[in-house]
Amino acid sequence: MNIVCNHCFTTNRIPDDKDHTQAKCGKCQQPIYAKQPVNLSDNVFYPFIERNHLPVVVDFWASWCGPCQQMAPVFTQVATETPQILFAKVNTEQAQQISADAGIRSIPTLIFFHQGQEIDRVSGVLNAVQMKQWIIGCVQKLK
């Protein structure tokens, strides 16, 4: 399995018999897995969503967006409870090209990616139960 380090964004190969949540990056020696969502910018967005073998849920948000601020702790909570999926955030004000490429028209918007391909998206505020149910539905689409 390939996992992109959340610190230096180097792709690391993790043997199937090893736990990715305990692995360290071969380049920077930092833990490659973060329980907290990783902040992605224009220059690391595509490598992160394309090179990871695990699914990636990306929250497109903005600092001025009240609903985004309301959902942020829920997103972080679900991220800490779901180690088999990676979580990332994109500030639409700072990563305008990525937001445009992704067709973001309203925020917050969550997009579920698997190896660079969009599997599903949902816009608007979700509570933890709704977010987990949506993620489960996305994982089922992969099977």
65 is catalytic: yes
Q: In terms of residue numbers, what domain contains 24?
A: 1-33
pLDDT (0 to 100) of residue 16: 87
- In tens, the pLDDT along 46-79 reads 999 999 999 999 999 999 999 999 999 999 999 9
Check 5, 8, 25, 68 and give the catalytic one: 68
Q: What is the CATH number of the domain that holds 125?
A: 3.40.30.10
Distance (Å, rounded) from C-alpha 104 to C-alpha 92?
Answer: 9
- Whether 70 and 108 map to the same domain: the answer is yes
- In tens, the pLDDT along 85-126 reads 999 999 999 999 999 999 999 999 999 999 999 999 999 999
- Whether 121 and 62 map to the same domain: the answer is yes
Predicted structure pTM score: 0.95
Burial 91-129 (b: 16+ CB within 10 A, else e): bbeebeebbeebebeebbbbbbbbeeeebebbeeebeee
28 is catalytic: no
- Whether 26 and 13 map to the same domain: the answer is yes
Domain count, the chain: 2
Check 5, 25, 28, 65 and give the catalytic one: 65
- Whether 27 and 43 map to the same domain: the answer is no
- Whether 87 and 130 map to the same domain: the answer is yes
